[in-house]
Amino acid sequence: MDNSEFRAWSRRAADWGVDYRDTLRERPVRPALAPGEVFRAIEVSPPETAEPMERIFADFEEKIVPGMTHWQHPRFFAYFPANAAPVSVVAEYLVSAMAAQCMLWQTSPAATELETRAVDWMRQALGLPEGFSGVIQDSASSATLAAVLTMRERALDWQGNRKGLAGQARPRVYSSDQVHTSIDRAIWVAGIGEENLVRIPAPGRFRAMDTVALEAAIVSDREAGMLPAGIIACVGGTSTGGTDDIAAVAAVAKRHGLYLHVDAAWAGSAMICPEYRHFWAGVEDADSIVFNPHKWLGAQFDCSIQFIRRPEDLVRTLAIKPDYLKTHGHDGIINYSEWSVPLGRRFRALKLWFLLRAHGLEGLRTMIRNHVTWSQALAARLAGEADFEIVTEPMLSLFSFRHRTGPGANPDEHNLRLVNAINDDGRIYLTQTKVDGTIAIRFQAGQFEATAADVEAAFDVITEIARRPT
């Protein structure tokens, strides 16, 4: 592809992107196709000679797009959002065109320094105190792994990377039973082992970790010769929005000298609104915090910010400095690859900088406040219907519900059939979860361009399909 073709196809791709976003409401949120259909439509062997771009692009439109779940659809109410505000998409065009490798300051000085500034803008936006530094990781999974590795090393007096875990006291990590599975994976990868992730019950409306049980577990483990290393607290858990009392958990961590990591991957975005910050009161005492601007805030994936109180501990855990990665003649610079598990790094800060400037904090606050208001209104409407029940009350814009069954029917089977029928219908997209061992249907409002009418439409779809004759 020469420069003139590159220009023409870049313009066509950009135009396609705008047309795609314009027509999303006309598309089913999730494709109605059987597993294997797309696979069978793709040629079995790679081409020996070059194919024309017209044919490649046509195949993209005909074979790929119809098989996609449309995460930018305004009626995507499943999982959590993976928003890509249009201005963020524009920034990603530029990042893709430059294709910079931003692992060190010297490999992309502007990328490094913009990341430092943009992360501090977010620190201020969330109301976090000075003293927190930060890094943009690819996902909360990577940020959590980095935190788990750091708490492990600190507990082992920085000997784990050198000596390994064999022969050491068993490190123990504590969390509620509401945390994301990324915590399990971090425990596996860090070599701590799933048996050493101690899950603390989380009762009550907000599914908050029982701090009395937490402290008892720490004391018991220490008496048994184990090595309590850290606590992972949760704000806005994936299943139903489980939210720990961060101040109470932080007090336990401080009494026992444990590292505290706070996972606010989804709900952290809402903390740009001062009225929601009570959900993480005490967060200033955490050692690290993760939240994903690529979820609710509008920055295109991937863009996960990890705030750190002592970056030197993170660097001590992760940094490897062979001669070919050293930046000679400069003191006090940041090489963000030393703050991350991967060496390679994309220029993630550019889209965040574009986003914050194009919308301003007040524009983003309005979006989040609207989502919370609309979701709570939907929960209230469903609660007013005799054949529905609210299982977990709204936590910000997330709640769960269940359709009541007739005599003799299995409620779990009924509600699984209902959520599958809703998703096969295609007008909206929901997911299920389990609450106290029984199936419930999750709803969350969070798509960047959703409107009140989109959320109201969810009521019509849910009730219509639930009440269809079987």
Asked if residue 311 and residue 439 are part of one domain, the reply reads no
What is the CATH classification number for the domain harbouring 399?
A: 3.90.1150.10
Lowest-pLDDT choice from 105-109, 222-226, 260-264: 105-109
Q: Are 197 and 175 in contact (CB under 8 A)?
A: yes
Which residues, in sequence order, are CB contacts of 38 under 8 Å at separation 6+? 63, 64, 67
Where in the sequence is the domain holding 155, given as residue range(s)? Answer: 101-346
The whole-number pLDDT of residue 416 equals 96
DSSP strands (E only) in 366-413:
388-395, 398-403
What is the CATH classification number for the domain harbouring 71?
A: 1.20.1340.10
What confidence tens digit (pLDDT) does each residue in 124-169 have?
999 999 999 999 999 989 999 999 999 999 999 998 888 888 888 8
What percentage of the chain carries pLDDT values higher than 70? 97
Asked if residue 275 and residue 321 are part of one domain, the reply reads yes
Lowest-pLDDT choice from 57-61, 330-334, 339-343: 330-334
The residue among 297, 317, 346 that closes a domain is 346
Asked if residue 241 and residue 374 are part of one domain, the reply reads no
> In the predicted model, what is the mean pLDDT of the chain?
92
Which residue carries 């402290």 as its tokens?
A: 215
Q: Are 416 and 432 in contact (CB under 8 A)?
A: yes
Integer Cα distance of 429 and 188 in angstroms: 32
Task: Decide if 192 is inside a domain.
Answer: yes
The whole-number pLDDT of residue 328 equals 41
SS3 195: helix
Which residues, in sequence order, are CB contacts of 318 under 8 Å at separation 6+? 146, 149, 150, 338, 339, 340, 341
The residue among 60, 76, 92 that closes a domain is 76
SS3 35: coil
Q: Which of 242, 113, 132, 117 has the alpha carbon at shortest distance from 176?
A: 242
What confidence tens digit (pLDDT) does each residue in 178-215 have?
777 788 889 998 889 899 999 998 887 778 889 999 99
Asked if residue 330 and residue 370 are part of one domain, the reply reads no
Asked if residue 269 and residue 165 are part of one domain, the reply reads yes
Q: Given a cut of 50, is residue 396 above it in pLDDT? A: yes
Task: Decide if 93 is inside a domain.
Answer: no
Asked if residue 165 and residue 314 are part of one domain, the reply reads yes
Confidence bin at 329 (pLDDT 50/70/90): very low
Task: Decide if 92 is inside a domain.
Answer: no
Task: Decide if 353 is inside a domain.
Answer: no
Task: Decide if 351 is inside a domain.
Answer: no
The residue among 43, 76, 109 that closes a domain is 76
Q: How many CB atoms lie within 10 A of CB 343?
A: 12
Question: Residue 150 to residues 104, 146, 187, 245, 259: CA-CA distances in angstroms?
Answer: 21, 6, 12, 23, 8
Task: Decide if 83 is inside a domain.
Answer: no
Asked if residue 378 and residue 312 are part of one domain, the reply reads no
Relative to beta strand 304-308, strand 197-200 is: unpaired
Asked if residue 251 and residue 336 are part of one domain, the reply reads yes
The whole-number pLDDT of residue 324 equals 44
Q: Are 290 and 131 in contact (CB under 8 A)?
A: no
State the average pLDDT over residues 370-385: 97
Of the CA atoms within 13 Å of residue 128, those in its CB half-sphere come to 30
Asked if residue 46 and residue 136 are part of one domain, the reply reads no
Number of domains in the chain: 3
SS3 229: strand
Task: Decide if 356 is inside a domain.
Answer: no
What is the CATH classification number for the domain harbouring 337?
A: 3.40.640.10
The whole-number pLDDT of residue 105 equals 82
The whole-number pLDDT of residue 330 equals 47
Asked if residue 386 and residue 302 are part of one domain, the reply reads no
Asked if residue 191 and residue 330 are part of one domain, the reply reads yes
Task: Decide if 128 is inside a domain.
Answer: yes
Asked if residue 306 and residue 179 are part of one domain, the reply reads yes
The whole-number pLDDT of residue 57 equals 95
The whole-number pLDDT of residue 180 equals 75
